[in-house]
Structure 1
Amino acid sequence: MTPDKSDWTYAKGEQAQFQIMVLKNNVPLEGIDVKYRINPEKMDAWEEKTVTLKKGVATVKTQRFTEPGFLQCHASVEVDGKTYSSYATAGFSPEQIEPTTTLPPDFEQFWEEAKSDLAKIPVKPVLTRLPERCTDKVDVYHVSIDNIKGKIYGILCKPKAEGKYPAILHVPGAGIRPYYGDIWSAEKGIITFQIGIHGIPVNLDQIVYDNLGTGALNGYQIANLDDKDNYYYKRVYLGCVRAVDFIESIDCFNGRDIAVTGGSQGGALSIITAALDSRIDYLAAFYPALCDLTGYLNGRAGGWPHMFLDDFTNKPEKVENSKYYDVVNFARFVKVPGWYSWGYNDNVCPPTSMHAAYNVIPAPKELHLFPETQHWTFPEQQEQKNNWLFKKLLE
């Protein structure tokens, strides 16, 4: 599946054209029927048809896409009794996408009061050295710190050599899992602190996290959404600020340079932490979740966790409360340089939602698009991100 523009990007009002090929042993098949569907991402189909490949290829032209956004072409084929599918996504003036969510008038006051409540709680760090994870250059610790309504746990990696170092806060993607820390960056002269968000230790057996994921923490993303003071993510967002408090207390921290980075839920938390905490100097985010959550209520894709696709969550109080936690509204207040990267084919965090947040960021920013990627990264993306962060922190 390939659009007819090399960057997969068109101006709104243009027609996209998709080329469909079916390869077997890297050889195009001929005379085979392919079903295809064209739709704005996550929305109902505009067109569904079957086309026969001639000379190994079929070309599908879409109707004009008149608004900024994204249009997908999905195709499927049956070969030897098995069904295979793929899709490609065309972007139309994505830099013009505007958010559907709105900024509550007391947004800043709400979070200032929340941070004030957090500041009344001592950090009380407890560090447990993990000898089996330490290297000749890095000490590794399991860390517990006090957060509002519980604790935050994480893995600290710090260089053994005497000196003062910059720091990176790693914030996690969605789910419940153990963490192992970023030893690689610490060996290059950076303190790293990788946190979990659920208030449970991050060095337990996998079965503990599996049981929590299917039990008590199943659906945590929408827990208490009808109460903005007790919504699950309030403690999470404040926990990221508390993690910065802890970094500031580390004896070998240079007192100046802190970056925050993550992908998906972690991409969201990177933007949110940078907006909430002026001690953050740089952020690097892959495919941020929790962006423009109300998109689905306005006829277009909304961000993960797609809460407003479900009538159960489409209650007025839940919609209003979501605005206090939407990445878009934090993005408006980001003041530090940021590096961002995602793909047009992301089927977890729709690019419509991510561009809605990116487009309102007033700070210096750079977006590195890898259009064909879904909810994953190429090694080249990770390398670019690391090079950008290391240049900011170490040079």
Structure 2
Amino acid sequence: MITPTPLLLRRTFLFIQLGLLSLGLTLGAIAAPPAAPAVNQDVARETLAPANTSVYTIEVVADRPEGLYKSGETATFKIRLLGDGKPVVGETVSYLLQGEKFFRSSGTLSSAVEPATVPVKLDGPGFVLCEVSFRPKGDGKNEVRAAAGVGADPLALRAATPEPADFDAFWTAQKAELAKVPLKELERVEVPIADAAKSALVVQYDVKVDCAGGVPVSGYLTLPRNAKPKSLPIILSYHGAGVSSSRPQVDRAAKGFLCMDVNAHGIVNGKSQEFYDTLRAGGLREYYMWGNKSRDTAYFRGMFLRVLRSLEYMKSLPEWDGKNVIVSGGSQGGAQALVAAGLDPQVTYCSAAAPWLCNFTGVTEGSVPPSWPGFIKMNGQQVATPDEAKALAYFDPALMAKRIKAECGVSVGYQDRACPPASVYVAYNNIPGKKQIYDCPLDTHKGPSIYQKCNDALSKYLEQLKAATPAN
């Protein structure tokens, strides 16, 4: 909960957004991330230039660039409207603040030469998103927007509701169903590599592997030519939300890795963008909402079975070194990576950038914003879709995270509306072993830091792994 001081009541709720951003991280527990590379490194901005008017900019700044506070501390926030880089006076700026425990506040303030300052006491763990907007006079369509997020004691965040009592039994049963389908390649077709120098080093295949659920594992398998048996670490990469072809992993394979980029839907690879756009708008439209009233029909059941089968397949290849299994992905791919690591104890490293789907039930406890696209609907503070709330708990990566044996790298964006920071921290806090989180206070779901930081950490891990591995 956030307690505003009297100064807040008139014009400073906009700062509550920032104040909530500073909701109370324990500074000794989490290192402040480096400032984002921008002209003003502490400011989140969005600009717009309507015809015949100035270019307006909104600045939203917390008094701590890292946006982290302890519970009970007071944060001070500053908001300012600029036109052509200069302060704008006397215009109305709107704000919306949303945070944990159903916190929501909105209001307006009048812009001035100096930024408005608002002290906010942060009473407990969680995050707050502050969205600020300004609509120029005479412009009924265009709107300038900016946002900021803050966190308080995020390492204290936990899942909103208990996990299902039969969570492990359910996944044991799913593995048994998968085992009934023999591990068998259905297809392996070599895919030419255009770069002649890389083609001399690496071979790539479009593969399909039989799987439970009626849809095969589909992906690009890439490895060094003439690789010796038991010589290569595995890298499995998983896709974010959407519909697309698998992507080549030529560069990593050339460095001595056994790579597979797994198609999220088990569909054909290598088609035109129009082909995948048509699928996204038609046959796979809103696939993530399919069958969510039951754990037996939810779309994620089939997706996660393919994750398990992709692991089994890669470990069956003679080139695997028998020791190292790395999984990675961002957003939906980050969710799949956490699931892979949670369900397979042989995974040794997991890279999950802004993982999606975590803490599905957080919305029932007032976590705002809820994970996109709103899997569980609320009627005020009451659950309006109880069947979905019950079923989706079995596919929550935050619960899978409790079972992870691997080392993990996770990233989080404080302005991320698709994968809200509280949901990511719940998953991160559940990981029992060696781990590192990369905080990105200025990032939305588009990044860029949330993806770059995880990728950099993964690259460093791979370099160290290869350096420690004797040449074959």
The alignment's TM-score, normalised by the length of structure 2, stands at: 0.78
1:13 match = 72
Are 2:353 and 2:454, in contact at CA under 8 Å, matched by a contact in 1?
no
Deviations 1:241-297 (A, max 9, x none): 110111112232212111000011111111111010122111011011111111112
1:309 match = 377
Sort the Cα spacing of 1:58 and 1:70 in 2 relative to 1 into closer, same or farther, 3 A. same
SS at structure 2 position matched to 1:359 = helix
Are 1:146 and 1:152, in contact at CA under 8 Å, matched by a contact in 2?
yes
The alignment's TM-score, normalised by the length of structure 1, stands at: 0.92
1:73 match = 130
1:387 match = 460
Deviation at 1:240, TM superposition (A): 0.7
1:229 match = 296
Deviations 1:5-59 (A, max 9, x none): 121011123333222234555x33242525132422496632311222224x333
Query: Does residue 186 of structure 2 align to residue 121 of structure 1?
Result: no
1:99 aligned partner, one-letter code: A
Deviation at 1:161, TM superposition (A): 4.8
1:140 match = 204
2:74 aligned partner, one-letter code: Q
Question: Structure 1: which 5+ runs fail to align?
Answer: none
1:89 match = 149
Question: Structure 2: which 5+ runs fail to align?
Answer: 1-59
CA distance in 1, matches of 2:130, 2:111: 16
Are 2:409 and 2:454, in contact at CA under 8 Å, matched by a contact in 1?
no
2:162 aligned partner, one-letter code: T
SS at structure 2 position matched to 1:323 = helix
Are 2:351 and 2:454, in contact at CA under 8 Å, matched by a contact in 1?
no
Deviations 1:137-167 (A, max 9, x none): 2111111001112211001111125331111
Aligned-residue Cα RMSD (Å) equals: 2.3
What are the equivalent positions in structure 2 for 1:66-215 lying under 5 Å apart? Answer: 66-78=123-135, 81=139, 82-125=142-185, 126-133=187-194, 135-149=199-213, 150-163=215-228, 164-215=231-282
Structure whose alpha-carbon radius of gyration is higher: 2
1:36 match = 94
Are 1:284 and 1:389, in contact at CA under 8 Å, matched by a contact in 2?
no
Q: Which residue, out of 93, 104, 129, partners 1:45?
A: 104
127-136 or 241-250, larger mean C-alpha shift: 127-136
CA distance in 1, matches of 2:222, 2:273: 21
Sort the Cα spacing of 1:101 and 1:386 in 2 relative to 1 into closer, same or farther, 3 A. farther
2:353 match = 286
What are the equivalent positions in structure 2 for 1:200-349 lying under 5 Å apart? Answer: 200-301=267-368, 302-309=370-377, 314-349=384-419
Number of matched pairs:
392
CA distance in 1, matches of 2:205, 2:92: 54
Are 2:376 and 2:388, in contact at CA under 8 Å, matched by a contact in 1?
no
Percentage identity across paired residues of the two chains: 27
Deviations 1:113-152 (A, max 9, x none): 1111111212221211011456222111111001112211
2:192 aligned partner, one-letter code: P
Sort the Cα spacing of 1:308 and 1:140 in 2 relative to 1 into closer, same or farther, 3 A. same
CA distance in 2, matches of 1:229, 1:30: 57
CA distance in 2, matches of 1:28, 1:135: 55
CA distance in 1, matches of 2:177, 2:96: 49
Are 1:4 and 1:18, in contact at CA under 8 Å, matched by a contact in 2?
yes
CA distance in 2, matches of 1:389, 1:53: 51
Are 2:90 and 2:111, in contact at CA under 8 Å, matched by a contact in 1?
yes
Deviation at 1:317, TM superposition (A): 2.4
